[in-house]
Amino acid sequence: MYLLIPGRHQLLTNFQFGYLQQIISQGIHTQSDVFGREIPQRGPVEAVIFAITSANHSNTRRNPLPFYLRSIAIEAMGNELTVPVYSYGIDDVGNLPNFASYTIKRIRHDSDFQFELSPENTVVICSTPVLHMYTQLGYTVLPAELADVQSWTYSQPMPWDIVEKVAQSEDWQNDAYIRSQMHKAAYNVWRKYRQGEKVQLLFRDTMIGSDGDLTETRDYNVYVRQMDDIAEMKFRDTAEYIQPGRIGDIGCAVGSWIKLACKQDGLRESDFYGIEVSRYLYEICQQRKVNGEFDDPFVFFAKKNAVTGLVFEKHSMNTIHTSSLTHEIISYGHPGDLEKFIRNRYEELAPGGIWINRDVVGPYDKEKTVYVWLNEEDGSNDELFSEFDDRHTLAAYLETLSTKARFLRFARDFRHKEGYHLNYKQHQVAGREYFVMNLRDAAEFLSRKDYTDNWQSEMHETFCYWDFNEWQEQMINAGFRIHPSSKAFTNNWIAENRWQDRVALFTLNNGKLIPEPWPVTTMFLMGVKE
């Protein structure tokens, strides 16, 4: 007979060890199943099999430990039992109704058919709602910590309860309660590899979701294509300023910038470090490395959040590159996070090192009032606020709207969940309708009006927080010298292809409308550490 224990297994408890010992020594038949029934299976336990789910996830609140550390702890605890213990990694495959069946098949495959698990030769130990997946397949399930399957009450703390205690403890290694609950195999791994400190950092990081992403509404297939499409243009803008040595790309997305940098003869002896907070994008970077897409073997990727602390050693980096990143810190973070991010980059640079930052930027004089003409004849003006569950259907619908209608939709949706209210009024001048608002809100709409593919995600983000002068002031306050090639500019392609004949900006002077130039869209800001 086999014992199968599915779960994320981030932490092992003394209860789990004692429970296994009891079953192995006294026999499965001495237990009752989750419904209080007698166990029909007889025979000694031949092996314990841990199915480690979410094995491809790590460094997130939900899955802080990588698979190999979870497996090490299980192996160490298993050495104290009298039967063999095996560990198999089960990747996260989303919300799969037949996940139990998938797990059984993965173990069969990964064990080279050593384990043909079935309800006749296997009893499952599970104390979460996942157990119903196994009972539906005919497996007998032992309850472990679960006291009542109807009310989901527990007789013992669950392993995740102890993880949360570690996250909250000021001194987890010496906390009497944690030490009494945590099995020594897990405790030794957590202490040796500083996992307690990692868990505390991850739980403090409210900017990132529990599965390691900034937003749940972004279509990453679209996002990845966009990043790859513009990577070469962005690299050309930055190439001449890159200093060889240790080169870091924070918010590296799918590694496109690093891939291009690796091809440069002058950077052949450099080491490249990609930092990405999104689990999905980080995994693509790792796969690209496995595929051999980077010319330089000294390319390393890490999944970290650069807002919460340093991601490189102090005074170690010759070049740090960021692109389309800093506006997300304001969009998803808290007051002061962006200032902290700037200081962290200064700390990481070696003397003479450079931080190259390309991103969107707010317009100059962003609080001034502007009159905005919006084309209402280039699309539909009906049913502006229709709702759709599918983002692709929403995108197709938004494409049908006129520029005026799309603005009205934008004014309602823009950072609504963050509590922002876009103030505007409608005003007639010489028989023509204009929308009156501050230049910042007008620029926010101009920057996003055609981002229909990712509309729900983009509505969380602000592009116009600081203007270029405010950015330079913050950089100087952190200690940087501003490189003379830094600039803010208007993307002429966007102006000609997305704004012309659709939008026009004016200021009102003595009752007359004065045409206003297009606002700047982009900054190329470089800070040098003296």
Q: Looking at the domain assignment, is residue 391 inside a domain? A: yes
Q: What pLDDT does 505 receive?
A: 98
pTM of the model as a whole? 0.67
145 and 37 part of one domain: yes
Q: What pLDDT does 229 receive?
A: 64
238 and 272 part of one domain: yes
Q: How far is CA 248 from the centre of its chain?
A: 19
Q: CB neighbours (10 Å) of residue 427?
A: 12
398 and 341 part of one domain: no
Q: In sequence order, what DSSP letters do the residues of 372-400 get, joined into one string?
A: EEE-SSSSB-S-TT---SSHHHHHHHHHH
CATH of the domain at 335: 3.40.50.150
pLDDT of 209-254, one tens digit each?
A: 544 454 444 455 555 556 566 778 888 889 999 999 999 999 999 9
341 and 379 part of one domain: no
pLDDT band at 432 (very low <50, low <70, confident <90, very high): very high
CA angle 480, 439, 368 (to 5 degrees): 90
Q: Which residue has the tokens 């927080």?
A: 465
Enter the tokens of residue 401. Answer: 């709207």
pLDDT of 122-170, one tens digit each?
A: 999 999 999 999 999 999 999 999 999 999 999 999 999 999 999 999 9
Q: What mean pLDDT comes out for the span 398-407?
A: 97
pLDDT of 304-337, one tens digit each?
A: 888 878 999 999 999 999 999 999 999 988 889 9
Cα dihedral 379, 380, 384, 389 sign: negative
246 and 184 part of one domain: no
Q: What pLDDT does 218 receive?
A: 47
Q: What pLDDT does 62 receive?
A: 85
Task: Identify the domain boundary among 324, 359, 394.
Answer: 359
Q: What mean pLDDT comes out for the span 474-489?
A: 98
Q: What pLDDT does 279 receive?
A: 81
Contact 249, 319 (CB under 8 A): no
Q: Looking at the domain assignment, is residue 114 inside a domain? A: yes
Q: What pLDDT does 212 receive?
A: 47
Exposure on the CB side of residue 388, measured as CA atoms within 13 A:
15
CATH of the domain at 103: 3.40.50.620
Q: What mean pLDDT comes out for the span 472-488?
A: 98
17 and 134 part of one domain: yes
Which phi and psi (to 5°) does residue 526 adopt? -125, 125
> Shortest CA distance to 451 belongs to which of 393, 399, 385?
399
Q: Which residue has the tokens 């392609």?
A: 493
Spatial distance between the Cα atoms of 483 and 354, rounded to a whole number of angstroms:
9
335 and 379 part of one domain: no
189 and 286 part of one domain: no
Enter the tokens of residue 75. Answer: 């192996």
Contact 139, 123 (CB under 8 A): yes
| Number of folded domains that form the chain | 3
195 and 312 part of one domain: no
Reply yes or no on whether the pLDDT at 109 is more than 90: yes
268 and 147 part of one domain: no
Task: Identify the domain boundary among 328, 359, 390.
Answer: 359
| Burial class (CB within 10 angstroms; exposed 0-12, middle 13-18, buried 19+) of 408 | middle
Query: Domain range spanning residue 226?
Result: 220-359
Q: What mean pLDDT comes out for the span 359-363?
A: 97
pLDDT of 163-205, one tens digit each?
A: 999 999 999 999 999 999 999 999 999 999 999 998 988 787 6
Contact 274, 265 (CB under 8 A): no
pLDDT of 2-55, one tens digit each?
A: 999 999 999 999 999 999 999 999 999 999 999 999 998 888 999 999 999 999
Which residues, 6+ apart, have CB-to-CB distance to 327 below 8 Å?
359, 360, 461, 462, 463, 465
> Shortest CA distance to 71 belongs to which of 180, 168, 172, 193?
193
pLDDT band at 529 (very low <50, low <70, confident <90, very high): very high
Q: In sequence order, what DSSP letters do the residues of 500-522 get, joined into one string?
A: TTTEEEEEEETTEEEE-PPPP-E
Q: What pLDDT does 225 receive?
A: 58
38 and 173 part of one domain: yes
pLDDT band at 206 (very low <50, low <70, confident <90, very high): low
Q: What pLDDT does 63 receive?
A: 87
| Burial class (CB within 10 angstroms; exposed 0-12, middle 13-18, buried 19+) of 203 | middle
Reply yes or no on whether the pLDDT at 92 is more than 90: no
Q: Looking at the domain assignment, is residue 84 inside a domain? A: yes
> Shortest CA distance to 228 belongs to which of 251, 206, 202, 254?
254
Spatial distance between the Cα atoms of 499 and 494, rounded to a whole number of angstroms:
7
Give, to the nearest 10 degrees, the angle between helix 159-168 and helix 195-204. Answer: 80
135 and 30 part of one domain: yes
Task: Identify the domain boundary among 303, 338, 359.
Answer: 359
Q: Looking at the domain assignment, is residue 487 inside a domain? A: no
Spatial distance between the Cα atoms of 272 and 243, rounded to a whole number of angstroms:
12
Name the strand (E) or helix (H) holding 477: helix 468-477
